Amino acid sequence: QSAIFNFQSLLTVILLLICTCAYIRSLAPSLLDKNKTGYSLLNLCFWLFPLPGERKSPYVAVCCVVMAFSILFMQ
């Protein structure tokens, strides 16, 4: 099934997107800059996704561990 129709896969994709965008933003903040001219929906999404990863990092880390446990041992 695609990730859109499977809820666990959708959560996995969203969590990985949050972590990846937060990592990219920490390495190269100019790539995901909110002050760029010519906003597009994609730029806006990639600017918004790192915010939970940066502000609520303990909760995101716990979610990553729970996701890894469920993928490794429950599937």
Per-residue pLDDT of 10-29, as tens digits, reads 888 888 888 888 888 788 77
* Other CB atoms within 10 A of residue 74 CB: 7
Among left, alpha and beta (phi > 0; psi -120 to 50; other), residue 6 is: beta
In the chain, the number of structural domains is 1
20 in a structural domain: yes
Closest to 13 in 3D by CA, of 29, 30, 1, 31 = 1
**What whole-number distance in Å separates Cα of residue 44 and Cα of residue 52?**
14
Residue 42 has pLDDT above 70, yes or no: no
pLDDT band of 36, cuts 50, 70, 90? low
Per the structure, the complete domain to which residue 14 belongs is given by: 1-30+57-74
Q: Is residue 8 part of a domain?
A: yes
**Inter-CA distances, 11 with 2, 7, 15, 32, 71, Å:** 12, 6, 6, 22, 12
Give the pLDDT of residue 35.
65
Query: Is residue 46 pLDDT above 60, yes or no?
Result: yes
Residue 63 reports pLDDT greater than 80: yes
Query: Considering the domain boundaries, does residue 62 fall inside one?
Result: yes
Read off the pLDDT of each residue in 54-70 and give the average, rounded to a whole number.
Answer: 82
